């Protein structure tokens, strides 16, 4: 999937986009998805993964199936 990094709503605070993208590719990452159709219209998803640099990164994101837009990452 492609990442949308235009007009990010947060400050990077030491992270770089490459680290966040790598955390999504981590084969041991944990992704949490909403389980209620009531929240499906504005769903937020969660990803907890590790970048190749060794940083553990927690991300909140939205997706349309083709692009991932990260709302927050730490």
Domain ranges of the chain: 1-35
| pTM passes above 0.85 | no
What is the pLDDT at residue 59?
94
Angle at 40 between CA 36 and CA 46, to 5 degrees: 85
45, 62 contact by CB (below 8 A): yes
**Alpha helix (H) residue ranges in the chain:** 17-25
- How confident is the model over 18-73, as pLDDT tens digits? 999 999 999 999 999 877 777 666 788 999 999 999 999 999 999 888 899 999 99
Rounded Cα distance between 24 and 6, Å, is: 18
> What's the confidence (pLDDT) of residue 13?
79
């Amino acid at each position: 999937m492609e990442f949308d990094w235009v007009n990010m709503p947060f400050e990077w605070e030491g992270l770089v986009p490459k680290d966040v993208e790598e955390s999504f590719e981590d084969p041991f990452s944990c992704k949490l998805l909403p389980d209620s159709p009531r929240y499906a219209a504005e769903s937020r998803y969660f990803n907890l993964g590790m970048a190749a640099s060794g940083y553990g990164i927690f991300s909140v994101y939205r997706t349309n199936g083709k692009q991932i837009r990260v709302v927050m990452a730490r």
